[in-house]
Amino acid sequence: MRERMVIGNWKMNPPTIADAVELARSVADRIPAGVLVGVAPAAVALPAVSDALRDTNLDVYAQDVHWEERGAFTGQIAASMLRGLATGAIVGHSEVRRDQCDDDARVAKKLARTVTAGLRPILCVGESAAEHEAGNASVVIVRQIAADLAEAPRRGLQRLVVAYEPIWAIGTGNPATGEWATLEVRAIRAALKHAGLDAEAIPILYGGSVSARSVAEFAAADGIDGALVGGASLDPDEFAAIVRAFG
Ligand code: 13P
């Protein structure tokens, strides 16, 4: 049986580190047992949030890592710097791909660095609106999976998590349907299998405008094991409701 998992990606929120700590505590107070739950605060808030959550069952994830071990990379975070602060890292989020011009070659190196550093990776893939409208979603996703897995040692991918995040659904209030996400998640599992991984054991999350209102169809969908939640993860009551849907 696969793990069920809900991760809150806080992106560039909330406004201060003190607010991040308060949000983390409010979320921890509301989380039921039985589902793996994590939050991904901004890098600068990781020490304070991980400290605040030390004796709770909430995990902490980084939103990104650099692919190199160390060196002249101004503004970047090395995987080793996350030791003791995070159990894992989001890799390949479409907003990082967009804002830092990350292509699949870079994402592949980031994924490799994440797993060799002993962090649990949440690899994000998903098609753009144009690719979606052109009917190319599955082709794009399958290509991303193959390219993004190219560098990581297979042994390190035993704890891989994949998030299907169609770009057109992120932050739009317009989630995919459970039916659509099921089809794409099936394509992702086939690509994982093709890459030589035990696809049936790998949790796949859906992300893109998940809310307390929209979560039910994803929680009920065949093959979807959880959610990667953006905006709605900033409201502890709504986030807890999303977690309960996967409980
Ligand atoms: P929203 O839930 O705000 O659409 O964001 C989804 C996302 O990008 C999570 O990583």
10-residue stretch averages of pLDDT, the chain, 247 residues long: 95 98 97 92 98 96 98 97 98 98 98 97 98 98 98 94 98 97 98 97 98 97 97 98 96
- How many angstroms does the Cα of residue 7 sit away from the middle of ligand 1? 10
Instruction: Give the predicted TM-score (pTM) of the model.
Output: 0.98
| Chain-centroid distance, C-alpha 234 | 15
For 148, which DSSP code? H
Mutate to test the pocket of ligand 1, among 6, 9, 93, 123 (most ligand atoms within 8 A of CB): 9
The domain containing residue 174 runs over which residues? 5-245
Beta carbon of 205 within 6 Å of any ligand 1 atom: no
pLDDT in the model for residue 246: 95
Catalytic residue among 93, 127, 131, 184: 93
Q: Cβ neighbours of residue 113 under 8 Å, at least 6 residues apart?
A: 65, 66, 67, 68, 69, 79
**Are the CB atoms for 209 and 170 separated by under 8 Å?**
yes
CATH number of the domain within which 203 lies: 3.20.20.70
Which whole-number Å values give the CA distances from 192 to 109, 145, 178, 231, in the listed order?
17, 7, 21, 28
Task: Name the token pair of 232.
Answer: 């709605």
93 a catalytic residue: yes
pLDDT in the model for residue 94: 98
pLDDT in the model for residue 203: 98
pLDDT in the model for residue 232: 98
Alpha-carbon distance 185 to 167, whole Å? 15
66 a catalytic residue: no
- How many angstroms does the Cα of residue 92 sit away from the middle of ligand 1? 13
Residue nearest atom 2 in ligand 1 by C-alpha distance: 230
Task: Tell me phi and psi for residue 212, to 5 degrees.
Answer: -60, -30
pLDDT in the model for residue 55: 92
pLDDT in the model for residue 33: 82
Beta carbon of 34 within 6 Å of any ligand 1 atom: no
pLDDT in the model for residue 214: 97
The number of domains in the chain is 1
Catalytic residue among 95, 131, 165, 184: 165
Which whole-number Å values give the CA distances from 179 to 58, 129, 228, in the listed order?
30, 18, 17
Residue nearest atom 5 in ligand 1 by C-alpha distance: 230
Closest ligand 1 atom to residue 163 Cα is 10
Residue nearest atom 9 in ligand 1 by C-alpha distance: 230
- How many angstroms does the Cα of residue 195 sit away from the middle of ligand 1? 27
